[in-house]
């Protein structure tokens, strides 16, 4: 059974870089059948797709965040990472690691809350 | 960007009654090459990540109760719960994955009347 687990600091200061890691078990980030990515949800609000990466390392980002986002994979550790630079309070959200298949975003991590505050 | 608009924003339905949620996209999400609509319905309960109920607009994910059904094509879609159960209280989202940036509807909060 595929499992995704996000980890990283729960508190980040304004203007700094948010860094999260997603550990994947029960499947491989190298699989050519899937895309891996991140979706976020501000407290009490809706869902925003951040971006995705495929097995060859091709990345796709939300244009609203593109200048600040980097998504990468470490195949040796079977992990996915997210970096979001120059954060503000508007970046406070639960960040989910996700897998996308032909059936949409079919697997989600439990999510990790990141608060941007000094 | 494709804008996804759900209606209503909230809905209260009696147990055992039908619940219907609408989702409209600002442009078609139908791939002509395979005749599939790249539209997913999710259910999200408090403190949990969203869970796929329906993909390709009308294909129920394995394990999802058959009281959930999806319909529609192109730009107009519907999620129907045929007989509401207490455990169906949740927020429901539609999402298009036809083109990036993938976008979600604003969500519909479903409650028991």
pLDDT in tens, A44-71: 999 999 999 998 899 999 999 999 999 9
Report the C-alpha gap between A24 and B39 in whole angstroms.
25
Q: For the beta carbon of residue A94, count every other beta carbon within 10 angstroms.
A: 20
Q: What is the pLDDT of residues A15-55, one digit of tens each?
A: 999 999 999 999 999 998 999 999 999 999 999 999 999 98
Closest CA relative to residue B19, chosen from B61, B70, B74, B58:
B70
Is the confidence at residue B80, as pLDDT, over 90? yes
Contact B101 A63 (CB under 8 A): yes
Helix extents (H) in chain A: none
Q: Select from A49, A96, A102 the Cβ nearest to the Cβ of B101.
A: A49
Q: Is B101 on the interface with A (CB under 8 A)?
A: yes
Query: Mean per-residue pLDDT for A69-98?
Result: 97
Cβ(A7)–Cβ(A109) below 8 Å: no
For residue A39, the chain B residue with the least C-alpha distance is: B102
Residue B12 is predicted with a pLDDT of 98
Q: Quick check: bond before B8 cis, omega within 30?
A: yes
The confidence band for A115, taking pLDDT boundaries of 50, 70 and 90, is: very high
Task: Report the gap between the CA of A38 and the closest CA in chain B (Å).
Answer: 11
Report the C-alpha gap between A89 and A92 in whole angstroms.
6
Contact A47 B101 (CB under 8 A): no
Q: Is B49 on the interface with A (CB under 8 A)?
A: yes
Residue A55 is predicted with a pLDDT of 87
Q: What is the pLDDT of residues B96-105, one digit of tens each?
A: 999 999 999 9
Cβ(A61)–Cβ(A98) below 8 Å: no
Q: What is the pLDDT of residues B34-53, one digit of tens each?
A: 999 999 999 999 999 999 99
Contact A102 B55 (CB under 8 A): yes
Residue A103 is predicted with a pLDDT of 86
Residue A21 is predicted with a pLDDT of 98
Q: Select from B48, B97, B101 the Cβ nearest to the Cβ of A104.
A: B97
> A108 vs A6, A13, B24, CA distance in Å?
10, 26, 24
Average pLDDT, chain B: 97
Q: Select from B55, B100, B101 the Cβ nearest to the Cβ of A104.
A: B55
Report the C-alpha gap between B101 and B95 in whole angstroms.
11
Q: What is the DSSP-derived secondary structure letter of residue A86? A: S
Is the confidence at residue B89, as pLDDT, over 90? yes
């Amino acid at each position: 059974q595929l499992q995704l687990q996000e980890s990283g600091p729960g508190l980040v200061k304004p203007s700094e870089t948010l860094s999260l890691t997603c550990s994947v078990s029960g499947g491989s980030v190298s699989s050519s059948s899937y895309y891996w990515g991140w979706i976020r949800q501000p407290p009490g609000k809706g869902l925003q797709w951040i971006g995705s990466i495929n097995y060859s390392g091709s990345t796709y980002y939300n244009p609203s965040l593109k200048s600040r986002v980097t998504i990468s994979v470490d195949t040796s550790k079977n992990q996915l990472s997210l970096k979001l630079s120059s954060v503000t309070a508007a970046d406070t959200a639960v960040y989910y690691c996700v897998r996308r298949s032909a059936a949409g975003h079919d697997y989600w991590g439990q999510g990790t809350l990141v608060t941007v505050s000094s | 960007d494709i804008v996804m608009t759900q209606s209503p924003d909230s809905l209260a339905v009696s147990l055992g009654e039908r619940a219907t949620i609408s989702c409209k996209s600002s442009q078609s999400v139908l791939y002509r090459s395979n005749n599939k609509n790249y539209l997913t319905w999710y259910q999200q309960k408090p403190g949990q990540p969203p869970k796929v109920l329906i993909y390709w607009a009308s294909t129920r994910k394995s394990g999802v109760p058959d009281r959930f059904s999806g319909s529609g094509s192109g730009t107009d879609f519907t999620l129907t719960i045929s007989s509401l159960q207490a455990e169906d209280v949740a927020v429901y989202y539609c999402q298009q994955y036809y083109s990036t940036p993938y976008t979600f509807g604003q969500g519909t909060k479903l409650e028991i009347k």
